[in-house]
A and B are shown apart, each in its own frame.
Chain A
Amino acid sequence: MAGMGTTLVKAVANALIVLIVAAFIISAIFVEQGEQQLKGYALELFQAKVRQYQMRGIKLNETQLQQINMTIWRDLGLLEPKSVRILRFTLWSIMLKFDMFPARAHYAGALGNTAKDVILAALPNTIILFTTATIICILIGIFLGLQTARKAGGIADRVISTIAMISASLPMWWVGMLMLLVFAFDLGVAPFAGIDVYSDLAELSKHVSGFLYWIYSIPIWLKYMWLPLLTIVIVAFGGWAYTIRNVVISVMTEDFVHVARAKGLPERTVLYKHVLRAASPPIVTMSALSIVGSLGGAIITETVFSWPGMGRTYWVALQNGDTGVLIAATFVTVFLFVVIIVLLDFVYALLDPRVRTGMTGGAR
């Protein structure tokens, strides 16, 4: 285990560099992007203030006007030079101090007005929808992948491959619109907007509280999430099944599988014990990365379903020039992504001595 420590230090150092650079790029881009919107917003505020004074019949001189403008600019953080703001955002991002970032727009479910509150409200919503969907897809994918790999070239295999090809070119959000047309408009069995879940929950909280509230809120969440969940699974399971099939097929040609078969082990045991175990490292990597990736939500799909998750939060923040929330939402996903890669590298290094000295492994 001599090389282990160095590998770990190297991996963490690499990750830190990536994180710092990413934080800087993200901060720079969003500060730059928010600049125009913030200045426009400042001008609007200023004009509104001046109009207020005019209505009250108060005449302001040049210095007073300047004073008002300065106050607005200070409140919006525009007085500091851009570089200072970028560096500060970078530093706070790396320290994960998202409660320092202001949130100006209104976000459904957020309890406070910092980026941290916004993310704490949105992230769980994304997790219960997208992470659940991803896990379901992985499970379906493993099952179908194993079955189709067993009879490669068979009817089931061809069907799954075709589904994978088709769903690779389907926009998920468009499928979402179709699902809404069928299930919400035609059949009326699903709600149009996921965000209405909050009004239902508010209604519920008037009647029950505590543990009962928790129990009763489950069917409410299910009512709002089943359609988007179904959409994600329909679009994504084919790709998973196809990828896992390919991984499994490459494992199946290895000698130990032939040995297992030759020993007369039942096909089930060969498949689920021997093959799946050998095929698990890439599958685990892909799964871990996808689960982390799912935390970012899906901007367009969430917009179509009005789902109050990370993707929609991002979109709302973007339209309102909410720089702090944008940086926080983006950096959180990058951070989790990088952390999981380091963890995976580390786990593989522990498990497989061959990888110990290699570069970042896994899905690439």
Chain B
Amino acid sequence: MSTQIERVRWFLGELKRVKSGLVGFILLFILIGVALAFPLIANPQDIANWSGHGEYWDQKMLPKLAPPAWINMFSSVKYAVTQDLSAGAGNYTVLDMQNDKDMLRYLDLMNPDVAKALRQLPEDQRKTLLDNLRKNLHFRYLVYIERSIVYDFKADVPPSDIVILSKIGPIILRKGLVQGINIQLVRPDGITLTLTPGASPNVTNPFNINQYADMMSPGLLIGLTIPTTVNTSGTETYRVIVANTTWRFSIRDYISSVLNSRNPALINSVLGPILKVANVSIGEGVYIDPMVFLMSKAEKDIVAGTAPPLRGKYVLYIKFLIKVPEGYPKPVFKIEKAKALGVYGLLGTDLQGRDLWPAFVYGVRWALIIGLVVSVISTFIGVMYGVISGYLGGWTDVIMTRVAQIIYSLPVLPLLIILAYFFGQNIWNIVWILIAFGWVGLVFTVRSMVLQIKENLYVEAARAIGASSWRIIFKHVFPQILPYMFASMALSVPGAILAEAGLSFLGLGDPNVVTWGKILHDAQAGNAVLNGAWWWVIPPGLGIAVVGMTFVFIGYALDRILNPRLIR
């Protein structure tokens, strides 16, 4: 026991001399620590839902292809950060048309003269007249809903999008039941943009339907991405926004669709107020970044996108005026989440809006597992093969060497790819395939070492006593190879990791396991390089390089400590 401790102490003493080895072991401990600490420093759910159908990540509402948030520390230009937006003032008012007071109030707003005349009439006459008027109404309740969100823009580069996730409905879109929507963006400079064409820029009377865009106007709800369904009752067919409909409203997408409509009237009705102040017009086929346009000062460079940013509080109002027929439930409009999408997190996001940090951290685990399992098993096989071939000699040796030579002459990567095509789709199959090709490189060196060891006197002596071949191999030959074996194990780790990464990069890896190679595959498939998404490309490759380097350092150190004869 004490000799064991002494040995370890000796080894550690030696390690201090070989600096790169020390670095290697420190790195290895850090890597193992990171792999073990994964559930603490990242959300395991992110990995469990990594390759799902995207619902999980849709729910998270992360920006797509967003650089990491810390770039603001190094950049002179500050980017807007991804953040949740607070709700501003809201309103929910219901007028019940069966209630005379509410009815009069409605008439006050709609037709003041009639209301005034009605008020002067005696009670019973007024009631009759009101009842008559009610017959012409197609609804029971008039509901006014107002919600708003506030975004305080402080950066230089506006967010890539502002997204609002809400629940809405039920709203019945029947002919003759004119209902309104009015979405307005009030900028810090006081310019108010009316995003819904047809609505009035300044609403003085929330119950006046003429101040809204008609919800039935063609294309409006589709443009706003409010989902509707067709409902049939009797002979009548009408559209409905069903109860609890999820409405995801992206300001960027909406403004883009307006700009792409090539409809000058539409563009002018939405963006006109800014264009008027800036005294410019949008030419045909000019590309405009919607968010930059919305959040820049109204100056003449705004179309080129070079006007200075307009910082301050932006308020987005969403107002509805809904008519509810008798017997139908009142509508609900509730903003569940509102986000400004900008730079995000520790490592940014990919094209599907997935957070790259958990994937990167998780990658450590598989890099270590693949590297270690493949190198340990294949080195062991290679050493045993070489030892047996070299020790037994004769025809066994000839055949074994020839087999190894044939395998060695086959181009490895093409065959790996073929086999991965056959048996891939499972990470452990890939591990076995890597082992199948990983062992052969060692055989030749080990064999020549064994040929030397075999000639030693003590081996001959052991043979003379009558020790069996296996006993000699394990007692006398194998221990001599051990130091070399350990060094080779460490040195073959990078190769295994690189091979797995290469296969995953080509899309031949396990689709359900997130490895660094897979992240890089996604990056290549998502044109990360063409989009300049360095945060998607650099970390996984750096991870591969660091894990590889760790074992290369350890391998060289082991080689120098355990095989002092090899120091030249």
Interface presence of A230 (CB below 8 A): no
A192 touches B529 (CB 8 A): yes
Per the 8 Å Cβ criterion, residues 271-316 of A in contact with B are 296, 299-300, 303-304, 314-315
B409 touches A169 (CB 8 A): no
Given contacts A171-B502, A174-B520, A174-B544, contact A185 B410 (CB under 8 A): no
Residues of A within 8 A of B406 (CB): 18, 21-22, 25
Given contacts A300-B502, A318-B418, contact A165 B553 (CB under 8 A): yes
Interface presence of A170 (CB below 8 A): yes
Residues of A within 8 A of B497 (CB): 169
Interface presence of B26 (CB below 8 A): no
Kindly state the separation between the CA atoms of A326 and B534 in the bound complex, as whole angstroms: 34
Interface presence of A166 (CB below 8 A): yes
Per the 8 Å Cβ criterion, residues 146-200 of A in contact with B are 152, 162, 165-166, 168-171, 173-175, 177-178, 180-181, 184-186, 192
Kindly state the separation between the CA atoms of A32 and B494 in the bound complex, as whole angstroms: 31
Residues of B within 8 A of A181 (CB): 529, 532, 534, 537
On chain A, which size bracket covers the interface?
A: 35 or more
A184 touches B529 (CB 8 A): yes
Instruction: Specify which of A152, A178, A192, A303 is in contact with B537 (CB 8 Å cutoff).
Output: A178
Interface presence of B402 (CB below 8 A): yes
Interface presence of A30 (CB below 8 A): yes
Interface presence of A12 (CB below 8 A): no
Interface presence of B368 (CB below 8 A): no
* A-B pairs with beta carbons under 8 A, tally: 129
Interface presence of B20 (CB below 8 A): yes
- B24's nearest neighbour on chain A, judged by CB, is A165
Interface presence of A17 (CB below 8 A): yes
Instruction: Specify which of B401, B413, B524, B548 is in contact with A169 (CB 8 Å cutoff).
Output: B548
The distance from the CB of A161 to the nearest CB of chain B, in whole angstroms, is: 8
Residues of B within 8 A of A253 (CB): 568
The distance from the CB of A21 to the nearest CB of chain B, in whole angstroms, is: 5
Kindly state the separation between the CA atoms of A26 and B407 in the bound complex, as whole angstroms: 11
Kindly state the separation between the CA atoms of A300 and B537 in the bound complex, as whole angstroms: 15
A29 touches B568 (CB 8 A): no
Interface presence of A337 (CB below 8 A): yes
Given contacts A177-B537, A318-B421, contact A165 B556 (CB under 8 A): yes
Given contacts A33-B422, A174-B537, A250-B568, contact A169 B552 (CB under 8 A): yes
Interface presence of B393 (CB below 8 A): no
Kindly state the separation between the CA atoms of A326 and B421 in the bound complex, as whole angstroms: 14
Residues of B within 8 A of A18 (CB): 402, 405-406, 409
Residues of B within 8 A of A169 (CB): 494, 497-498, 544-549, 551-552
A sample of 27 cross-chain residue pairs with beta-carbon separation below 8 angstroms, ordered by A number, consists of A18-B402, A18-B406, A18-B409, A21-B406, A33-B418, A165-B553, A169-B545, A169-B552, A170-B544, A170-B548, A171-B498, A171-B505, A171-B544, A174-B501, A174-B545, A175-B541, A177-B524, A177-B529, A181-B537, A185-B531, A185-B532, A186-B532, A299-B502, A299-B506, A315-B506, A330-B414, A338-B409
The 10 closest A-B pairs by CB, nearest first: A169-B548, A174-B541, A169-B494, A364-B444, A185-B532, A165-B552, A180-B529, A169-B549, A177-B537, A170-B545
- B residues near A, CB below 8 A? 20, 401-402, 405-406, 409-411, 413-415, 417-418, 421-422, 444-445, 494, 497-498, 501-502, 505-506, 520, 523-524, 528-532, 534, 537-538, 540-541, 544-549, 551-553, 556, 568
